[in-house]
Chain A
């Protein structure tokens, strides 16, 4: 910076004053954010790479029943001699499938409803928000029980149900953001240049409205994982896949003789939910200090 502020016409091309780290970098810098991101990444890696990581097929009888954790069976084996480590890794896959599919549905429905309600306002807003409230008051867990009671257990119907009922929070957050953004000067600038409604919504408003929604999504997904595990624990999980909830449920009978059967699936649930919550919180914190 030169000593005197030159008057216009004379000054050279000005360069930016500094570079602020991007949102993701800022949220990962906090201890909570780093741990949260690490745990979430672990969940995703375990889920995606389950066939490579797991020593055996989770349903395959692999050794002596109820073996305590050891070098050959790090997490021990269950009553049928199945390797628990493989079970927990494949359980991550189940959790990931449910979490990712529900998250995708929540993003699509929640963002669309939030954008429309916030941008158009008036009766569109009223109608959409009443519908949102309707879905928000549905007891998700009992709905899940009812659906499984009618149609039998299965991941597909569970994902569908949770996806259709988990979006209201996201829609509300996005709507509020859009309400605050739609009269901001940069949106008006786009309007002055003749930008179409689609461009304004997708290019100008959405990228600014989405981050708080994404932060919230971590929390929504953590709940979804809990619900899936809870259903498994009640014996209502999909019998064709391994789930942490199912593992924990089966472990109950051996609580006194095989502590590892309860500990490892429980720990997996705890860490996955904790990780997603920490990550969501860290992103929220980074966003709050954004301006």
Chain B
């Protein structure tokens, strides 16, 4: 805790926000009080729809005007009530006294202006005396401060040339451009990978500390709060249900909702439920040396998957983990035959299905189903939920014989949805409910194997826990085999028997859950584990962050592909591709020349080479 007792910088009193819809008035924020003291970080936590974003938008006057929505209460910034300010005064204040960082870095930058100019604009808007040249120089400094390597070389870049992590850095640069005393970050890392999340949280922390600014961190993820916040306010249905220091919230939560949110948080330090032993049987699905390359529109060949072998035993869950762009989704799509591999084989139940067509392929389609990532894109918006769930049955020509509407009701019941909702359209359902529909559809033909491609990544933490619990239960009841793909290591740990870690088209480590999580030997796995936010505010990480981002898959580094980001990298890593084999002192395969349980960066790590910050 920094400041205590002093007058708060931002003080929200009895804030009420109501939206006026045709169907009536919706009270999104129902009288909340929040205080942010100078130099302090307040975490505002809640599920989607709890009013956390709306309350902050209302505070800075970014909600639609009067007929659609009314805001009551008091929002004092340095003693001035923001709710009574004119639009003009508010505009002068935003950016200068309040810096804002939004959730989606892909859409919050203007696509047709250069990034540097957008950062410079943040300065020019508030200082008419500033010359363009100076603003640009200052913008480059800001970009460097938020960890953009050599921004002077990227002066001409447009947002689409930057990755999500880079764009979020640019957003932070814009937010801190005028040294505002208050930063508001709305889910700043939700759309990012764990490794990039750790980097961005680090940048945010440094930016805040350098400015000495106060911050409001809005998130649904308590793990992020534990990393950054001093105090926490938990929101539920537009009200603050608990407000305490971050240590208190994690050590002794008082409100049941806080406890629920904490319980839902997947964490690496929680003892795991024993998984049922997987029966000895030949593998149901085998992937042998599969390679998927496709032409990049910009030239070159993207080696999305480059020689991957895996096998799934009946009844087990194999977790496949890696950052965005590592090829895990392409591998999933290859297995379900949405993509044809350039090399290698996929066997299902012992039969080669890589080139299966017609009747043989239809047989495979019945036994091998997929659950997609985005519950908003994976359901046809013009079909009712009943039609969506029935579609696989109709396609297979067994709608009638399987029981028709009765079977649909049974499937909806299986995923804990009201069978009476079969006549509703997907737009009537929440994200978690839609994902249940997606699962019901996948189960329609009673498949043996489900390929789950990031099935819960776009859901709130508490909803994630429900859906994962449902998947776990269905697996036990129906004897399903899962290939569970995710970028979230703590989630994969909960549900998997075995885990494969993928980097840039290759599997780098493969083992049982205990082997991979307790005795990781590949530096990449170790870095990924270190990047997971720790729910221990008292032990904030002094960890080594994984530097840089996934290398360009059209031109992967020679030898070991991870070497450009690896703390253990040595000259031989550039020359020899490490094989995925069991190495001395380990009990599971790992594709690293220096595989050892010693974490990278520790004295035990071989060779003293420095990380390459490319």
Residues of chain A whose beta carbon lies under 8 Å from any beta carbon of chain B: 1, 3-9, 11-20, 29, 184-186, 188-196, 199, 203-204, 207-208, 290-291
Contacts and interface: CB of A to CB of B under 8 A. Distances in A.
A199 B378 CA distance: 17
B466 A6 contact: yes
B384 to A, nearest CB: 11
> Which applies to chain B's interface (DSSP): helix, strand, loop or mixed?
helix
Given A3-B256, A8-B468, A186 B428 contact: no
Interface in B449-503: 462-463, 465-470, 472-473
Contacts of B362: 194
9 contacts: A4-B256, A5-B260, A5-B463, A6-B466, A15-B418, A189-B378, A193-B395, A193-B396, A208-B380
A192 B445 CA distance: 12
Contacts of A290: 381
B372 A185 contact: yes
Contacts of B388: 186
B416 A12 contact: yes
Interface string B415-435: 011111100110111101100
Contacts of B468: 8
Given A13-B419, A184-B377, 4 more contacts: A17-B433, A185-B374, A192-B337, A196-B395
Contacts of A186: 377-380, 388
Contacts of A190: 380, 391, 395
Contact of B466 (A5, A15, A19, A208): A5
B528 interface: no
Contacts of A208: 380-382
B565 interface: no
Given A17-B430, A192-B365, A207-B382, A8 B260 contact: no
Nearest to B465: A7
A203 to B, nearest CB: 8
Contacts of A7: 263-264, 465-466, 469
B435 to A, nearest CB: 11
A194 B396 contact: yes
B353 to A, nearest CB: 12
Nearest to A185: B378
B369 interface: yes
A196 to B, nearest CB: 8
Contacts of B155: none
* Residue among A11, A20, A186, A207 having the largest count of chain B Cβ atoms under 10 Å: A186
A192 B257 CA distance: 39
Contacts of A203: 383, 391
B264 A5 contact: yes
Interface in B46-90: 47
A290 B382 CA distance: 11
* Residue among A15, A29, A189, A195 having the largest count of chain B Cβ atoms under 10 Å: A189
What 7 pairs across the A-B complex have the smallest Cβ distances?
A8-B469, A185-B378, A194-B365, A16-B428, A193-B392, A207-B382, A185-B372
A8 B417 contact: no
B416 A14 contact: yes
Contact of A193 (B436, B445, B463, B473): B445
B395 to A, nearest CB: 5
Nearest to B463: A5
A215 B564 CA distance: 53
A175 B526 CA distance: 47
A72 B379 CA distance: 60
Contacts of B421: 15-16
A8 B465 CA distance: 7
A6 B259 CA distance: 11
A45 B400 CA distance: 42
* Residue among B338, B373, B432 having the largest count of chain A Cβ atoms under 10 Å: B338
B85 to A, nearest CB: 30
B201 interface: no
B50 to A, nearest CB: 11
A191 B418 contact: no
B310 to A, nearest CB: 19
A17 B416 contact: no
B413 A13 contact: yes
Nearest to B427: A20
B418 A193 contact: no
Contacts of A14: 416-418, 432-433, 436
Contacts of B382: 207-208
B263 A189 contact: no
B441 interface: yes
B124 interface: no
B256 A19 contact: no
B370 interface: yes
Contacts of B427: 20
Contacts of A11: 416, 466
A236 B276 CA distance: 84
A192 B453 CA distance: 13
B336 interface: yes
B252 interface: no
Contacts of A1: 237
B372 A188 contact: yes
B361 interface: yes
B97 to A, nearest CB: 34
A29 B432 CA distance: 30
Contacts of B380: 186, 190, 204, 207-208
Nearest to A194: B365
B567 to A, nearest CB: 37
Given A4-B257, A186-B378, A208-B380, A19 B413 contact: no
